Amino acid sequence: NVEYEASISCYREFLQSVINAAPNKDILLIQPFSWKMAFGQVPGVPTLIVTLKNVEFTEDSLKAAQGDTKLIQDIPLLIAGIEY
């Protein structure tokens, strides 16, 4: 058996837009989906494109500290595969 692990780090504003579009504003209720990502957008270097298959959010949390001006959230994901 192959097991995959994934997580993303994103600004809270991005996550809030996902929450706002989710059923009942709960990202845990979003049905599994594919997520295409591009890495390495540097001139002269080929862009790596990967697709995460059957992505599901596994938690919704907010972590912040006093004085934070930008909130970056780490979000664990459940995925069924990676397509390169």
Tokens at 84, concatenated: 């390169």
pLDDT tens, residue by residue, 12-33: 899 999 999 999 999 999 999 9
Q: What is the DSSP letter of 43?
A: T
CA proximity to 2, closest of 61, 76, 53? 53
**Residue 15 near residue 73 (C-beta atoms within 8 A):** yes
pTM of the shown model: 0.79
**What pLDDT does residue 71 have?**
85
Give the residue with greater pLDDT, 69 vs 4: 4
**What pLDDT does residue 69 have?**
79
Tokens at 30, concatenated: 């979003």
pLDDT tens, residue by residue, 50-63: 999 999 999 887 77
Q: What is the dihedral of CA 62, 26, 20, 84, to 10 degrees?
A: 80
